[in-house]
Amino acid sequence: MADHIFTGSGVALITPISSDGTVNFKVLEELLEFHISNGTDAIIACGTTGEAATLTEKEHCDVLAFVAEKVNGRIPVIAGTGSNDTKTAVMLSKAAQRSGADALLTVTPYYNKTSQAGLIKHFNVIADSVDLPVILYNVPSRTGCNIKPKTYAELCKHPNIRAAKEASGDISQVALIRSLCGDKLDIYSGNDDQTVPFMSLGALGVISVFANICPKEMHEICQLCLDNNFAEAQKLHFHYLELMNIMFSDVNPIPIKTAMNLYGFDAGECKLPLVPMSVAGYHDLKDCLAKYDLLNKV
């Protein structure tokens, strides 16, 4: 494949929420500038970490349009447009294309799930509806639905299906996907703590929660891997592993939004049904941020 959607660290961007429950576009713009000035290689808006599941369709489309406008081509913007309803996913994908997104991130259907044959039909219908590259998003722990390697091999025959965010946690599966698909399908790690091993198998980077608070650091880890300097990448990976892991000490994006508030951005709370961290969890997170000198930086 000649062209890649991005290489390196793509941030799975949080969506800041005001006290009245609406999207805080002022803070969203601050976050975009923070990432662009600190080495983030791509913005992923309205994914899991961006609380797409609890944004209204209007909020979803408004956020995608705002992000594309403010980034203005400086780095790629990847729009989360997945749904367990194919027609809704198509609608969101077309809206994202009109807004100026550079690519789409489409998750497997959740709750109703579907078969492997259903996945092939679902993703092909979405890819047929737009003229943008599509990143498939495989996160079985949330959806109950896994894209199998042979299904990836069939899906990557579509010219618009260009990449996968693999959050299955199964390194053996990633190796088999790479073996079957080769350069017809780019891979991005969907788990921060697996970025280095995934990239050792040929992944091009990560779609990262950790990058919300440490954009320079995650960019550097990825760049070291891309430069084939895995020894140094491993050192950084181990140094930040505790911080990466604590971001999943509660349901994502609860810890990372809490961390961004402690960092100094007015990220707000998550929308229901996600609730604030326990007192003990909050203090553990705060102590960890203090250890890495990440309190009150803004």
Active-site residues, by number, are 137, 165
Q: Cα angle vertex 272, ends 123, 17, to 5°? A: 85
CA distance 267 to 212: 11
- Which of these, 134, 42, 55, lies nearest to 96 by C-alpha position? 134
Contact between 63 and 45 under an 8 Å Cβ cutoff? The reply is: yes
Give every CB contact of residue 259 below 8 A, 6+ residues apart in sequence: 212, 213, 247, 285, 289, 294
164 conformational bin, left if phi > 0, alpha if psi -120 to 50, beta if neither? beta
Contact between 6 and 40 under an 8 Å Cβ cutoff? The reply is: no
CA distance 148 to 63: 32
CA distance 247 to 252: 7
Q: Where are the beta strands (DSSP E) in 150-204?
A: 161-166, 186-189
Give every CB contact of residue 201 below 8 A, 6+ residues apart in sequence: 171, 174, 175, 178, 187
CA distance 157 to 166: 18
- Give the count of alpha carbons within 13 A of 9, CB side only: 27
Give the three-state DSSP class for 179.
Answer: helix
Structure tokens at 163: 């990449």
- Which of these, 136, 128, 119, 115, lies nearest to 181 by C-alpha position? 136
